[in-house]
Structure 1
């Protein structure tokens, strides 16, 4: 075959060669012209953008349960004993995203289009601390979150503590206590 000869065009080649589309393919350009908006099914009713709440001066409240998780920042949030806490919305009214600020300047963002939950916040924090060794953390336990509208309407302050929750006595220590008594 020389350079001037052309092989017979196949169906795939015909589109490339600029031949007219078959009637079935003529609908394709219309579909491309339609612009689709973000799926609304992923947005829950009653979940706000935090900026809207600031504009309307709607104050946030936090569930008290977040203050007593005793969660260690470099461990998975699934290690928390009371799993029900994880399902709670981090703030009321629920928001799509919120910044979590640490005292030393670190800032992480928790997001969930159906409303940021405590688990979303802990996941965002864990992502930052999972590679840190225990001795690298000055205050390794979560003490809770604080919303201070004077400092920032759109973020929460993360409080940490040196000591975790009091450890439940192990079976060995219970035995020792019985033997000593």
Structure 2
């Protein structure tokens, strides 16, 4: 078996004598229409819009994202148009990346933030609550700045929404 392989042999079948210089690309079937690469948006000059719902979460960054008061906002895309990945930059210099091939959602962003801070206790965090995100195209097109604060900004009282429904009912009955 010291004979050189020929094109008849299955090991070299289909190979040319010199390798081609073609660049292989990833499958296109895994990409979702309408979801963009952030670098392509930068080249085109397409501006991002952020979901305003992130400013009203009242979410503590070292608690699970499932503790958000309104779990429906977790399904919303973080940006318009939706992107496959985006970097989240903290004021102290730490940076994490949220990824989702179907478009980064608010839950994806909260998940990576939680993963970075889950082992920290409450007294280690100066500003433990998410205030929202900011996109500054002059600073960096591919990055969002994460803003934190000392107190939660919540649209609902801490006791839940059952008491607020009773108050609203009372007001509507009194108006009639």
Q: What TM-score range do you get, normalising by the shorter chain?
A: 0.7 to 0.9
Cα distance, 1:31–1:81 mapped onto 2, change above 3 Å: farther
Q: Name the residue aligned to 1:14.
A: none
Q: Which has the larger radius of gyration?
A: 1
Q: Equivalents in 1 of 2:13, 2:102: separation in Å?
A: 33
Q: Equivalents in 1 of 2:87, 2:161: separation in Å?
A: 38
- In structure 2, the gaps of 5 or more residues are 3-8, 17-22, 163-176
Structure 2 counterpart of 1:72, from 60, 85, 88: 60
Q: Deviations over 1:4-26 (max 9, x none)?
A: xxxxxxxxxxxxx89xxxxxxx7
Aligned length: 152
Q: Name the residue aligned to 2:129.
A: 141
* 1:167 lines up with 2:162 in the alignment: no
- How far did 1:72 drift? 0.6
TM-score (norm 2): 0.75
The answer as to whether partners of 2:58 and 2:69 remain within 8 angstroms in 1 is: no
> What's the RMSD between the two structures over aligned residues?
2.8
Structure 2 counterpart of 1:40, from 28, 45, 55: 28
- How far did 1:169 drift? 6.7
Q: Name the residue aligned to 2:92.
A: 104
- In structure 1, the gaps of 5 or more residues are 1-16, 19-25, 172-181
- How far did 1:170 drift? 10
What is the SS of the residue equivalent to 1:72? coil
Q: Equivalents in 2 of 1:156, 1:87: separation in Å?
A: 19
Counterparts of residues 116-131 of structure 1 (less than 5 Å) = 116-131=104-119
Q: Equivalents in 1 of 2:160, 2:30: separation in Å?
A: 44
Structure 2 counterpart of 1:60, from 27, 48, 60: 48
TM-score (norm 1): 0.73
- How far did 1:132 drift? 0.4
Q: Deviations over 1:70-111 (max 9, x none)?
A: 111001111112111111111011111100011111111001
